[in-house]
Homo-oligomer: A and B are copies of this chain.
Amino acid sequence: MATLGFVGLGVMGGRIAKRLLDAGHRVSGYNRTAAKAQSLVAAGMRLADSPRAVAAGADVTFSMVTDTSALHAVTDGPDGILAGLGPGKTYVDMSTVSPAASRALAERVRERGAEMLDAPVSGSVATLEEGRLSVMVGGPAAAVERVRPILLDIGPVVTHVGGNGQAVLMKVATNLSLAVQMLAFSESVRLAERGGIDRKTAVHVLLNSVIASPMLKYRGPFVLQMPEDAWFDCTMMQKDMLLALEMGRALRVPLPTTAATNELLTAARAMGLAEQDFAALFEVLVRLSSPHPGTESGRAG
């Protein structure tokens, strides 16, 4: 078992660190808000003072934060991960950031004699806890093989998709389908419901049909009861859609359903649903297909 480090112990990061502990690894961790790491400490994790300390004491350091600026906050500066890296060490970032940002960071890691991999995960908390998380990895093949046994402790499918930055590209390419599938599912449910079929029955039928992806299996029921806490909220999902649309323009790939869905995520945010799970796309469709209780402009309505 290797000595591991983990920076960023949020909803997903914390659970991944827990799996690594459960698999028998020694793990030291860091989180901006230390209090959130208490249950992990109870489970055997050592708490470090800084991202640098984590990286300095580990063979393989993981990080998982929300976006590019959060990534720079934990990698840069005198207390950052980079400062703790050196020859023989491997740094695995599991965040979803732009491929270009990831490639640039890998270059700086290489300058310190270490290797970086981008390894975003596809799936939710539920997928992770069921032990079915799929991990994509980008970076040099030798480094990938070195950490593969550890990644397999996180999830059963580890796929080396290409060089640095290509796993985050693959992740973003995957995530556009999440949002589009959710909106198409919403169209299916709402059409059935308006045709007289009970919403619950419609969801049941759809989730037993060939369209029932693992994502819809866990998120589809949200159209019956939204969760208290979003698993992945509209703001986060739109961040990923923007990464996809930006890459689509740069790589000259039109993304018609992605673009259409993204505009309804904007609508969700305008309607006050920004912090709800992106299953709120269903709610947008409900509002688009219902008489309106009030109106901003004078006569209409």
Tell yes or no: A166 within 8 A of B by CB: yes
Asked if A9 is an interface residue, CB under 8 A from chain B, the answer is: no
Which residue, A159, A161, A294, has most C-beta atoms of chain B within 10 A? Answer: A161
* Interface assignment of A264: CB less than 8 Å from any CB of chain B: yes
With a cutoff of 8 Å between Cβ atoms, the chain B residues found around residue A247 in the complex are 191, 195
| Assembled-state Cα–Cα distance A195/B286 (Å) | 27
The answer to whether B283 touches A161 (Cβ under 8 A) is: no
Across the interface, which residues of B come within 8 angstroms of A162, CB to CB? 196-198, 201
- The 0/1 profile, CB within 8 Å of B marked 1, for residues 262-301 of chain A is 1110110111110010001011111111111111111111
A196 to B165, CA, bound (A): 10
A242 within 8 A of B: yes
Contact with B along A219-247 (1 / 0, CB 8 A): 00001011000000000001000101001
A96 on the B face (CB < 8 A): no
CA distance A269 to B254 in the complex (A): 10
Contacts of A276 in B (CB 8 A): 300
Q: Is A73 an interface residue (CB 8 A)?
A: no
A19 to chain B, nearest CB (A): 17
Chain A contact residues (Cβ within 8 angstroms of B): what range? 35 or more
Tell me the A97-128 residues at the B interface (CB within 8 Å). 99, 122-124, 127
Q: Which of A36-44, A84-92, A141-149, A180-188 contacts B (4 or more CB under 8 A)?
A: A180-188
Indicate if the CB atoms of B289 and A270 lie closer than 8 Å: yes
Q: Is the CB of B173 within 8 A of A177?
A: no
Q: Is A259 an interface residue (CB 8 A)?
A: yes
Contact assessment for A272 and B292 in the assembled complex, using a CB-CB cutoff below 8 Å? yes
Q: Is A136 an interface residue (CB 8 A)?
A: yes
Best-buried of A177, A284, A296 by chain B (most CB within 10 Å): A177
Scan residues 189-216 of chain A and give those whose CB is less than 8 A from a CB of chain B. Answer: 189-192, 194-198, 201-202, 204-206, 208-216
- Chain B residues with Cβ below 8 Å from A157 are 208
List which A35-92 residues lie within 8 A (CB) of chain B.
none
Chain B residues within an 8 Å CB radius of A192: 161, 169-170, 173
Kindly list chain B residues whose C-beta atoms are within 8 Å of the C-beta of A123.
209-210
Q: Is A28 an interface residue (CB 8 A)?
A: no
- Give the residue of B226, B256, B292 whose beta carbon is less than 8 angstroms from that of A187: B256
In the complex the two chains form, is A180's CB within 8 Å of B191's CB?
Answer: no
Q: Report Cα–Cα, A219/B253, bound state, in Å.
A: 21
Known pairs A259-B263, A267-B289, A284-B288 / 15 extra A-B pairs, C-beta < 8 Å? A124-B210, A157-B208, A159-B208, A173-B187, A177-B211, A180-B187, A181-B181, A211-B213, A212-B213, A242-B249, A252-B269, A254-B267, A260-B260, A283-B300, A288-B288
